[in-house]
Every structure is written in structure tokens, then in C-alpha cells.
């Protein structure tokens, strides 16, 4: 078990009890995403955490496969889905790197609050692009610390080494946009509630 897995397992129960930092922004992101959904859609969410967003979206699509690196996060998510009798979500412990999904089979991939926690966001985008059908959508909400907290690139590795925080990568919103377009996406929708807040993007696979 790597240190990132241990970190998320350790904080999972506390994470599950935390209120959403910006409820209004979260609700807008949910609404915008649901406007793209269709009842027959197959969806993947990677980095699903304790499953709250997948559970909210479940009524709008055919099926959601929701994965997370933390087994404890998945355990909590499954318990929440069972309590609400939601049957069209498959929760499993995995990573985007390890999961096996056939090319061009998904309608939507959700990567929410996760790209800045990956060692290689470009590799993740490439894999997402391969999974999606032509015209498929990649929905992401990403902390772009490079716009307001460049200094974090020096502090973050120390926190990770001490086990106080996970890996956190520092890049700007423009760098995120460039990575998406380089991976074969076009930006269909972009919104940032305020400076320093996560950047929300709906990107469409270009074929």
C-alpha cells in the first residue's frame, strides 16, 4: 500500500463528515453536468471519494462505475448507496491507471477534485480520451494552485514526505486547458466561481 492510499484511508471517515466548502458552486456544477446527461449513458468517475456526487448523478444515467484508491472511501460510498437503495452504481477500489475499460465505450468520465492529485495528469487525460466514445465528455473540477499559490510546489513535497498530505501538483488553469487540448479535447464549458477556486470544465472528445 503506497503512502497516498494510506493517507486517504486514514482520513476517509473524517472526510465523509466534512461539509461542502462552497455549496452554491457545487450545486451549479451538478446542474451543469446533469444538463449533459442522457438516460442511456455509461459513466466512469475516478477519484470518487465517498460517493456523494455519483449518488446524486445516478438517477440521470444508465450506469456509473465509480472508483477510488482508498478502500475505506469505497466502503463508505457503498454503504451510502445501499442505504438509499441505489443500484446503478458499481463502486470499486482501483485507480485510473489500473482499471481496464475498452476503448470508445464510455459516454462521460468524471474526474472531480482529482487531476491535481495525480503524478501525471497528461497520462490520465490520454487514457480518458481512449475510453470515451467520439464526442464523449470529460467533466473535471480542478484546483489550479499555480494561479495563486506557486509557493506550494516547495511546501507540498515536505507535507507529503511527512505523511501530512497527499501528492499535490501545482499548475495554472491555462496549463490545464492546454493539457486537455493536447490530449484531443475541446473545451465545451468552463467556469470558475472566484479567483483561487477550482476550475470546472466540460471537455468534449474531438475525433
Question: Which CATH number covers residue 118?
Answer: 3.40.50.150
Give the per-residue pLDDT at 146: 75
Query: 150: pLDDT confidence band, cut at 50, 70 and 90?
Result: low
* Average of per-residue pLDDT across 139-167: 63
Neighbours of 33 (CB within 10 A): 23
Q: For residue 69, is pLDDT > 70?
A: yes
* Average of per-residue pLDDT across 192-201: 93
For the chain, the first-to-last Cα distance in angstroms comes to: 38
Q: Residues with Cβ < 8 Å from 194, sequence gap 6 or more?
A: none
What total of structural domains would you count in the chain? 1
pTM given for the model: 0.91
Give the per-residue pLDDT at 161: 42
**Residues of the domain holding 115:** 3-17+24-205
Give the per-residue pLDDT at 169: 82
Q: For residue 162, is pLDDT > 90?
A: no
| Contact of 144 with 116, CB cutoff 8 Å | yes
* Average of per-residue pLDDT across 86-96: 97
Give the 3-state secondary structure of residue 202.
strand
pLDDT in tens, 112-126: 999 999 989 999 999
Give the per-residue pLDDT at 149: 58
Give the per-residue pLDDT at 151: 42
Give the per-residue pLDDT at 3: 60
Provide the sign of the torsion angle of the four alpha carbons 70, 73, 79, 83, taken in this order: negative
Which percentage of the chain shows pLDDT scores above 70? 89
pLDDT in tens, 21-59: 899 999 999 999 999 999 999 999 999 999 999 999 999
C-alpha count within 13 angstroms, C-beta hemisphere, residue 60: 17
Give the per-residue pLDDT at 1: 46
Distance between CA atoms of 65 and 59, rounded to whole angstroms? Answer: 14
Q: Residues with Cβ < 8 Å from 124, sequence gap 6 or more?
A: 46, 96, 97, 111, 115, 118
Give the per-residue pLDDT at 156: 42
Q: For residue 186, is pLDDT > 50?
A: yes
Amino acid at each position: 500500500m503506497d503512502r497516498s492510499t494510506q493517507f486517504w484511508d486514514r482520513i476517509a471517515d473524517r472526510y465523509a463528515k466534512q461539509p461542502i466548502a462552497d455549496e452554491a458552486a457545487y450545486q451549479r456544477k451538478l446542474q451543469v453536468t446533469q444538463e449533459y446527461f442522457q438516460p442511456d449513458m455509461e459513466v466512469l468517475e475516478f477519484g470518487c471519494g465517498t460517493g456523494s456526487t455519483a449518488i446524486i448523478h445516478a438517477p440521470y444515467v444508465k450506469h456509473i462505475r465509480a472508483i477510488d484508491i482508498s478502500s475505506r472511501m469505497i466502503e463508505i460510498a457503498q454503504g451510502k448507496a445501499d442505504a438509499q437503495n441505489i443500484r446503478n452504481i458499481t463502486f470499486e477500489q482501483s485507480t485510473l491507471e489500473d482499471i481496464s475499460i475498452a476503448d470508445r465505450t464510455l459516454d462521460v468520465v468524471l474526474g472531480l477534485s482529482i487531476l491535481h492529485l495525480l503524478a501525471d495528469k497528461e497520462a490520465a487525460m490520454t487514457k480518458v480520451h481512449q475510453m470515451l466514445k467520439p464526442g464523449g465528455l470529460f467533466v473535471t473540477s480542478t484546483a489550479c494552485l499555480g494561479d495563486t499559490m506557486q509557493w506550494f510546489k516547495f511546501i507540498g513535497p515536505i507535507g507529503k514526505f511527512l505523511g501530512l498530505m497527499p501528492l499535490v501538483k501545482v499548475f495554472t488553469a491555462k496549463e490545464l486547458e492546454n493539457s486537455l487540448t493536447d490530449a484531443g479535447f475541446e473545451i465545451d464549458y468552463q467556469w470558475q466561481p472566484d479567483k483561487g477556486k477550482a476550475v470546472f470544465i466540460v471537455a468534449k472528445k474531438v475525433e
